[in-house]
């Protein structure tokens, strides 16, 4: 992707509104995911397959397992959460440009899935995808990038 294309898709100037997603459909079941066990997360995905948060939590759990197989699972989970998030962003008026602030809790599932996709891609050498996703996260929410990078 050329730098010019990236600018067109991700850059935002003055007046570009923040995109604020509606509440994640699984948020009531999972909260922020901190205390959700694996069975609760699987149940949330089965009940709300459109939940970026639930897919991101599955990805984070797989990344924590840190095996070759789990890394591939994490990539698939994160990619699903990322695409579900893009769908939700578009329904909320996002047209490929503008901030998706971490400070708005409902955006966090998408941002976490994007981060997990970057990490999983990096674990098996898909460097271009790793870097693209990390940059997309930074462009969408510098705060989200900082928070997630600190968490590992």
Q: Whole-angstrom Cα distance, residue 142 to residue 152?
A: 16
**81 and 50 in contact (C-beta within 8 Å)?**
no
The structural domains of the chain, with segments of one domain joined by +, span 33-151
User: Read out DSSP for 63-77?
Assistant: HHH-SHHHHHHHHHH
Flag whether pLDDT at 135 surpasses 70.
yes
> Does this model's pTM top 0.75?
yes
**Residue range 28-41: mean pLDDT, rounded:** 82
Mean pLDDT across 98-121: 97
Q: What confidence score (pLDDT) does residue 6 get?
A: 40
CA neighbor of 113 nearest in space, from 139, 89, 82: 82
Task: Please tell me the predicted confidence (pLDDT) of residue 152.
Answer: 74
**Residue 57 pLDDT exceeds 80:** yes
Q: Give, as one character, the DSSP assignment of residue 21.
A: P
């Amino acid at each position: 992707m050329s730098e010019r294309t990236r600018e067109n898709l991700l850059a935002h100037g003055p007046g570009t509104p923040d995109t604020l997603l509606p509440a994640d459909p699984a948020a009531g079941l999972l909260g922020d995911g901190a205390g959700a066990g694996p069975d609760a997360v699987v149940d949330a995905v089965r009940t709300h397959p459109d939940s970026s948060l639930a897919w991101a939590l599955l990805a984070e759990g797989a990344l924590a397992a840190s095996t070759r197989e789990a890394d591939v699972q994490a990539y698939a989970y994160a990619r699903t959460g990322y695409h579900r998030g893009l769908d939700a962003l578009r329904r909320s008026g996002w047209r490929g440009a503008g901030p998706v602030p971490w400070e708005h809790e409902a955006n966090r599932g998408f941002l976490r899935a994007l981060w997990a996709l970057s990490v999983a891609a990096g674990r098996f050498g898909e460097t271009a995808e790793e870097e693209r996703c990390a940059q997309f996260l930074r462009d969408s929410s510098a705060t989200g990038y900082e928070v997630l990078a600190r968490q590992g």
